[in-house]
Amino acid sequence: MSTWYQTSYRKLFFDFHSPGSTVDLAADFDAERWAERLDEANAQAVSVFTKCGYGWSFYQKGHIRYRHPHLPPGLDMLEAQIATLHRRGLKAIGYYHTFNSEPIARDHPEWLNREANGKPFGTACCMLSPLLDEWMLPHIAEIVTHYDVDSMFFDGTYAHVPCYCEHCRRRFAEASGGKEIPILPEGRTALSPEAARDPLWREYGAWYLAAFREVRQRICDTIHAHRPEVVVSINWAYAPRMPEVVPAGIGALVADIFPEDQVQNGSYFASYWSTLGRPFDVMNSAFLQWWGDWASKPALAMQQEVAPVLARGGLTWIGFQMNHRFNVEPAIMAELGKTLAFVKEREPLYAGAEPVANVAVLHATDQHFTRDEPRFFIDELSARGAHRLLTESMIPCHLLHEEGLLARLAEFKAVILPDQRHLSPALVEALAAWVTAGGVLLAAGLTGTTDADGAATGDFALGDLLGLHYEGRYDQSHAYIKVTDERLAAGTLDMPHLVEAATGFARPVSTDVQTLARLHKIYLRADGQLLLRWSPAGEDSGYPAITLRPVGRGFACYIASDMFRAYQAKNQWNVKHIVANLLGLLLPEPLVTVDAPAWLEVVPMRQPADRTPESRGRLLVHLLNEHGDRPLDGNYRCTEQIVPVRDVRVRVRVPERPASVRLEPGGATPAWDYVDGVVTVQVPEVFIHCAVAIA
């Protein structure tokens, strides 16, 4: 792995998408001054465009590229930028847009994505057509052999809409024994519940995803055949919506996250990507309206966005865009510079730091096909809900796919399976042994009730461990959970709680299964319909809602409804407290607890001795204040003011009295004591971020 990328904490990205009709293109281009401005903004690396979203390139060498028609004669923007960046010690990351091209649409319409009626999707290119071999891979080779890019970043290289071009039809027919690509319902561009009724969608979806895996692999192979040192990344590939095992050719993970709340989105992505063994960039952006406008958030907002990513071991790559003349307003560069200065001040905390395992959330790679409908991008509500529920409860957590969980299972105190329909025999066996040895398992919804193809098996794969027999799925969209064990009730209303999620009926078959909550059906009218949009609680279903079974030194719990999805989808805040209370009951000696007047995200990391100023290994407890003003009008989050969280008490379990306890950045020594294996630290204030450093 290239070490420069692992320590490239401060990167900037600037779009330069330029339609062929753009005049005055690059009229203000000055490579030397641009590199100087990046240096002034504290950047370590920056994007350089090799092919824009309209299919044009801005360089001279080679013959495969389509040079922009209004590029000033003789100007090689790519070469000039790389040379000036490298002279200043900055890295150049080549950007390559794979899925649109004006000149390809003009010269090779047979290479375009097609709707079922044969119409092209604008200028979108089909990478499963001859485009890949006849043009794209040679073009990529041309770039990396003629230009000294340090990394290549590809945009759009994944399955997102079905393609009905002649090449896709032929290739799928060859792979499936002559079958036709199924047709989407009228007006849809993505898979849907209606499509799920046709089993051919699963076969097509699996083929399409595999075909794009091959495309990505061939891109990596092409680059590394010429330049093995080049770090390759692909926008949004291997993101939580596309959980796949990361292949060896991918050197870094990147996604320009959606803009509605880049604080929460950044934290969510980082909780998953920090487990995949690659450097990763969760790309927030300066825009007010995401990619397209030339306005900017204040630095304060961007600092709050990058903080949770960095705390979890990620890197910063902030996005904005050039105007057509190749210029960015000085005021915006100043805000970007302030944000990167915030990062630079904290870099000693991040070097070599590794996540501390606590609670694992399974985020399986086969969810494209094991839920209620096949999808190119999985339904993330359960995963997002689990992450949000736990972070707001100040319980450190990570998302892991099944390979990662199997490899690291022994490190975790608790594992949550939020409606993970298929579980492999290897994972089932490993979980049983792990629980017996002292682990805490929470399985929710229809976890472990299907095979690898999404077909119902008729029982729980974890039935023996849970002490339960699966007796079917509740046929309504929502149900109610009534807590009967007061240990789970703290912070909740004394009433049945509506949970809108998949719900299973589970019958206890072991005498040691304890019922902590009851499952209630919903009221239905005489015609079998809901009372209104939802229905109130009805009769007891005859089944438990939450069960607990002691197994060896551990516990196996079942939650009949997917509370995690319910929390994310409908803000059912009571379930957050129920789950937190359950974990508190079963994990009486947590690694870290925080008392504060408002919740903070808590991220523990360990830093080895050779990467710390004191040359002693240290435990870092990052505290992240994610509160701030939020829009109520449908606009994206753009924090202008942050309310500090004051008088925070942090308790951390450590095996021996520390030599030092400090607050970073800054190195201040807080009030602290050590009693019975617990360090208690008084943190006066958390504005955006601080870390308790225990060495």
pLDDT confidence of 411, banded at 50, 70, 90? very high
Residue 527 falls within a domain, yes or no?
A: yes
pLDDT at 375: 84
pLDDT of 193 strictly over 60 = no
Q: Is the pLDDT of residue 511 over 80?
A: yes
User: Which one-letter DSSP state was computed for residue 371?
Assistant: S
Alpha carbon distances (Å) from 290 to 157, 169, 240: 20, 35, 20
User: Considering just the CA atoms, what is the radius of gyration of the chain in Å?
Assistant: 26
* Neighbouring residues of 438: CB distance < 8 A, sequence distance ≥ 6: 552, 553, 554
Final residue before a domain boundary, out of 530, 564, 586: 586
Q: Tell me the DSSP string of 586-609.
A: H-SS-SEEEE-SS--EEEEEEE-G
Joined together, the tokens standing for residue 354 give 């590794």
pLDDT for res 330? 98
In this prediction, residue 187 carries a pLDDT of 58
- 495, 621: one domain: no
Q: Mean per-residue pLDDT for 512-527? A: 99
Q: Are residues 110 and 88 in the same domain?
A: yes
Distance CA 557, CA 440 (A): 8
In the chain, what percentage of residues exceed pLDDT 90? 92
Average pLDDT rounded to a whole number, residues 510-519:
99
In the 3-class helix/strand/coil scheme, how is 119-173 assigned residue by residue?
Answer: CEEEEEECCCCCHHHHHHHHHHHHHHHHCCCCEEEEECCCCCCCCCCHHHHHHHH
Residue 197 has pLDDT above 70, yes or no: no
**pLDDT tens digit sequence for 576-612:** 999 999 999 999 999 999 999 889 999 999 999 999 9
Q: Using CA atoms, how far apart are residues 259 and 684, in angstroms rounded to an integer? A: 32
Same domain, 541 and 620: no
Task: Tell me the mean pLDDT in the region 245-262.
Answer: 96
State yes or no: pLDDT of 2 exceeds 70. no
pLDDT tens-digit profile of 28-56?
Answer: 999 999 999 999 999 999 999 999 999 99
Sign (positive/negative) of CA torsion 158, 162, 168, 170? positive
pLDDT at 629: 78
CA 76 to chain centre: 36
Looking at residue 63, its pLDDT comes to 96
Q: Do residue 578 and residue 670 come from a single domain?
A: no
User: Based on the domain organization, do 400 and 541 belong to the same domain?
Assistant: yes
Kindly report, residue by residue over 557-566, the tens digit of the pLDDT: 999 999 999 9
What is the tens place of the pLDDT at every residue in 435-493?
999 999 999 999 999 999 889 999 999 999 999 999 999 999 999 999 999 999 999 99
pLDDT recorded at residue 190: 57
Task: Categorize the per-residue pLDDT at 359 as very low, low, confident or very high, splitting at 50, 70 and 90.
Answer: very high
Strands 479-483 and 672-675: unpaired
User: Which residues, in sequence order, are bridge partners of residue 646?
Assistant: 685
- Tens digits of residue pLDDT in 360-370: 999 999 988 87
Over residues 650-659, the mean pLDDT reads 97
Residues 108 and 187 in one domain: yes
Q: Which of 113-122, 412-421, 673-682 has the lowest mean pLDDT?
A: 113-122
Domain count for the chain: 3
Instruction: Say if residue 199's pLDDT is above 90.
Output: no
In this structure, the answer to whether residues 473 and 392 fall within a common structural domain is yes
3-class secondary structure, 277: coil
Pull the structure tokens for residue 657.
Answer: 């009295």
**Final residue of a structural domain among 530, 553, 586:** 586
In a domain, residue 449? The reply is yes
Q: Is 338 exposed, middle or buried (0-12, 13-18, 19+ CB in 10 A)?
A: middle
Question: Residue 283: which pLDDT band, with cuts at 50, 70 and 90?
Answer: very high
Residue 177: which CATH number? 3.20.20.80
User: Does one domain contain both 649 and 680?
Assistant: yes
Does residue 264 belong to any structural domain of this protein? no
420 and 553 both lie in a single domain: yes
- Is 3 a member of any domain? no
Q: Is residue 281 part of a domain?
A: no
Which amino acid type is present at position 580?
A
Has residue 631 got a pLDDT over 80?
no
Cα atoms found within 13 Å of the Cα of residue 226, Cβ hemisphere only: 22
pLDDT exceeds cutoff 90 at 422: yes
Report phi then psi at 370, rounded to 5.
-105, 0
The pLDDT assigned to 614 comes to 83
Selected residue with higher pLDDT from 308 and 184: 308
Q: Residue 485 has which token pair? A: 């064990």
Cβ atoms of 343 and 351 closer than 8 Å: no
CA distance 74 to 397: 54
Looking at every residue in the chain, the average pLDDT score rounds to 96
Same domain for 550 and 407:
yes
CATH number of the CATH domain containing 687: 2.60.40
Measure CA 546 to chain center. Answer: 29
- Measured between alpha carbons, how far is 580 from 488 in angstroms, rounded to an integer? 8
Tell me whether residue 268 is in a domain: no
Q: How far apart are CA 660 and CA 677, in angstroms?
A: 15
End-to-end CA gap in the chain? 29
pLDDT at 654: 97
User: Are 505 and 627 in a shared domain?
Assistant: no
Cα–Cα distance measured from residue 367 to residue 352, given in angstroms and rounded to the nearest whole number: 32
Q: DSSP assignment, residue 524? A: B
What CATH number did the domain enclosing 546 receive? Answer: 3.40.50.880
User: So what's the pLDDT on residue 188?
Assistant: 61
| pLDDT number for residue 184 | 78
Q: Average pLDDT of 415-434?
A: 98
pLDDT tens per residue, range 148-166? 999 999 999 999 889 999 9
Identity (one letter) of the amino acid at 372? D
Same domain, yes or no, for 667 and 570? no
Print the domain residue range for 653: 592-694
Chosen domain end from 586, 609, 643: 586
138 within some domain: yes
Residue 278 within any structural domain of the chain: no
Choice between 176 and 184, residue whose per-residue pLDDT is larger: 176
Distance of CA 72 to the CA centre of its chain: 40
